[in-house]
């Protein structure tokens, strides 16, 4: 590292130390268990373990299941849990209570949301998606469209294309736009309110995936007029591995839309065991089968980490953490390392990413130094900044590790090349 880079890093370190002293969220770190010495920059893939989670899940297993047995569906509130957690999540995403439910996976919930949106726009032939979206979103969208009456067409935005122009061009053929608010790969953030308004101007609906924004920034689903939204709970919401996802339906659509995956838990009266499906009038209609109770207790513990937290402060800290990291890495002018996310923190979510042709090996070398990020093929190294449990000085420590690994070409060591199942 040359003297100029060293000086730049020293200045940024001072800035980070000051930011930690001024941090209004500093106490929130105590709500998590993070292994000593680890800089955890993968909360955008799996949030860290909330301190209360093991106890909440253990109580569910030992007391509710072990002692309460089947009676816990009533006595421990299991039956109501998907709705209760939905109401608890609602203020985090700016939704009204009663319009959000925790269930299934993001993939399945997107299928339901698209089917429901199409049931409200039967005469329209096109759904607009982002061709660079998370692949599961593209796969399930095509499945949902193939199964919908008249099999509407899936039209993909090109990389860098302006969605507003395309929405206007599609005009009254457009049934819905369905895209992610924040890109899983580059962290680039779309203007949710503007895209939603543009869809509405054409009489179309907006279906949003908020996997990479819920819990990382303030959101205003109701005020922005979003029609349907889905997201997962295991990223910034800290719900635990494989925790159930959520789905939001705007109040104006709830009574009218049809959910394409009818199951008994979405029936108006499941324990009447009627042979014909009769949709529940409320958000419960978006449940399919029996809820994943043990995992839901993890979601409960994850949502508790947001008690009393100001999401505007979360966003501010997220931008600051990301900027400290980005500026530090860019100060080193590393060979073959390119910024892969927007340089403007206001234009990205809570992750900073860089490209490197051997990105996977670089990330593995960092993990060995206990700086945990991840890799998205073909060449993106992702670093997620979860403001509830990260310190500003950790952003600098991570940047120093990345600079060291690339400058010394540590990643060339053979053991870093072997791709694991999950990257």
Ligand X SMILES: *Cc1c(COP(=O)(O)O)cnc(C)c1O
Catalytic sites, residue numbers: 134, 209, 234-235, 382
Which DSSP state fits 301?
H
Closest C-alpha among 141, 145, 122 to residue 131: 141
Whole-angstrom CA distances from 398 to 213, 404, 418 are 22, 10, 22
**Least distance between ligand X and beta carbon 342 (Å):** 17
CA angle 18/188/111 to nearest 5° reads: 125
With binding defined as CB under 6 A, does residue 134 bind ligand X? yes
State the DSSP H helix or E strand holding residue 234, giving kind and residue range, or none if neither: none
**Least distance between ligand X and beta carbon 409 (Å):** 32
- Binding to ligand X (CB under 6 A) within 203-242 occurs at 209, 211-212, 232
- Binding to ligand X (CB under 6 A) within 244-303 occurs at 245
Closest C-alpha among 336, 382, 389 to residue 187: 382
- CB nearer to ligand X: pick between 56 and 107: 107
Near ligand X by CB under 6 A: residue from 119, 136, 143, 423: 136
| Phi-psi sector, 49: left (phi>0), alpha (psi -120 to 50), beta | beta
- CB nearer to ligand X: pick between 23 and 42: 42
**Least distance between ligand X and beta carbon 63 (Å):** 29
**Least distance between ligand X and beta carbon 105 (Å):** 3
Near ligand X by CB under 6 A: residue from 78, 79, 111, 184: 184
With binding defined as CB under 6 A, does residue 180 bind ligand X? yes
- CB nearer to ligand X: pick between 15 and 209: 209
- The CA distance from 56 to 168, in Å, is 49
Strand order in the sheet with 228-231: 100-103, 245-249, 228-231, 205-209, 174-180, 126-130, 153-157
- Binding to ligand X (CB under 6 A) within 77-116 occurs at 105-107
State the DSSP H helix or E strand holding residue 211, giving kind and residue range, or none if neither: none
Q: What share of the chain is helix, strand, coil (3-state, %, to 5)?
A: 45, 15, 40
Please state, as a whole number, how many other Cβ atoms lie within 10 Å of the Cβ of residue 39: 22
**Least distance between ligand X and beta carbon 401 (Å):** 25
- The CA distance from 329 to 406, in Å, is 10
Q: How many residues bind ligand X (CB under 6 A)?
A: 13
- CB nearer to ligand X: pick between 134 and 375: 134
- CB nearer to ligand X: pick between 100 and 328: 100
**Least distance between ligand X and beta carbon 147 (Å):** 18
With binding defined as CB under 6 A, does residue 181 bind ligand X? no
- The CA distance from 145 to 125, in Å, is 10
User: Which residues of the chain form contacts with ligand X (CB under 6 A)?
Assistant: 105-107, 134, 136-137, 180, 184, 209, 211-212, 232, 245
């Amino acid at each position: 590292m040359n003297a100029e880079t060293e000086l730049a890093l020293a200045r940024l370190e001072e800035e980070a130390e000051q930011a930690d002293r001024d941090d209004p969220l500093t106490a929130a770190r105590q709500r998590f268990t993070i292994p000593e010495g680890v800089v955890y920059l993968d909360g955008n893939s799996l949030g860290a373990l909330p301190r209360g989670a093991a106890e909440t899940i253990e109580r569910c297993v030992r007391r509710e299941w072990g002692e309460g047995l089947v009676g816990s569906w009533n006595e421990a509130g299991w039956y109501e849990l998907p709705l209760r957690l939905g109401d608890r999540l609602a203020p985090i995403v700016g939704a009204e209570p009663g319009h959000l439910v925790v269930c299934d996976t993001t993939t399945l919930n997107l299928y339901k949301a698209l089917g429901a949106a199409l049931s409200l726009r039967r005469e329209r032939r096109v759904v607009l998606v982002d061709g660079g979206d998370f692949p599961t979103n593209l796969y399930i969208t095509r499945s949902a469209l193939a199964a919908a009456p008249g099999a509407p067409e899936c039209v993909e935005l090109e990389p860098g294309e302006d969605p507003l122009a395309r929405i206007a061009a599609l005009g009254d053929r457009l049934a819905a736009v369905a895209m992610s608010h924040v890109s899983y790969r580059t962290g680039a953030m779309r203007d949710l309110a503007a895209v939603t308004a543009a869809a509405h101007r054409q009489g179309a609906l907006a279906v949003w995936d908020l996997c990479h924004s819920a819990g990382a920034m303030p959101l205003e689903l109701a005020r922005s007029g979003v029609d349907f939204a889905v997201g997962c709970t295991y990223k910034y919401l800290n719900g635990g591995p494989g925790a159930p996802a959520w789905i939001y339906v705007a109040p104006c659509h709830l009574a009218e839309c049809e959910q394409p995956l009818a199951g008994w838990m979405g029936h108006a009266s499941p324990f009447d065991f009627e042979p014909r499906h009769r949709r529940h009038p409320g958000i419960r209609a978006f449940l399919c089968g029996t809820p994943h109770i043990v995992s839901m207790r993890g979601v409960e513990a994850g949502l508790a980490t947001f008690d009393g937290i100001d999401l505007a402060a979360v966003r501010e800290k997220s931008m600051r953490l990301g900027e400290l990291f980005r500026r530090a890495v860019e100060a080193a002018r590393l060979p073959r390392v390119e910024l892969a996310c927007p340089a403007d923190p206001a234009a990205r979510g809570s992750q900073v990413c860089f490209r490197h042709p051997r990105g996977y090996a670089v990330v593995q070398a960092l993990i060995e130094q206990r700086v945990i990020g991840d890799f998205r093929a073909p060449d993106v190294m992702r670093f997620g900044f979860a403001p509830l449990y990260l310190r500003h000085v950790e952003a600098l420590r991570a940047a120093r590790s990345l600079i060291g690994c690339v400058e010394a070409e540590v990643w060339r060591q053979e053991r870093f090349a072997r791709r694991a199942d999950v990257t």
